[in-house]
């Protein structure tokens, strides 16, 4: 029997990947719980897409929770929109 850890317990750090600066995000949600996220960088001439990913609701929520904790930002859930009174 092997004493090796389960491969899910290991994290592989890829030092050959560049670190990208992003200053924009576009996101959309599908009915099946999958989300499209695109991270972009603005340059003087145009906007460059740096990262594009598809991620399910559960993992996106984990990612957002981590990011909120890092910057100590905890947004409040918006209240339901009220219907405008008819004139």
pLDDT tens digits, 16-70: 999 999 999 999 999 999 999 999 999 999 999 999 999 999 999 999 999 999 9
Query: What integer pLDDT is reported at residue 9 of this predicted model?
Result: 77
- DSSP assignment of 15-74 equals TTSPP----EEEEEE-TTSEEEEEEEEE-SS-EEEEEEEEEEHHHHHHHHHHHHHHHT--
């Amino acid at each position: 029997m092997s004493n090796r850890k389960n491969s899910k317990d290991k994290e592989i750090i890829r030092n050959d990947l560049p670190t990208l600066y992003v200053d924009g995000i576009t996101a959309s949600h599908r009915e099946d719980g999958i989300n499209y996220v695109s991270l972009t960088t603005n340059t003087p001439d145009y906007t460059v897409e740096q990262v594009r990913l598809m991620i399910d609701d559960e993992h996106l929520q984990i990612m957002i929770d981590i990011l909120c904790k890092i910057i100590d930002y905890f947004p409040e859930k918006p209240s339901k929109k009220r219907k405008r009174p008819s004139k």
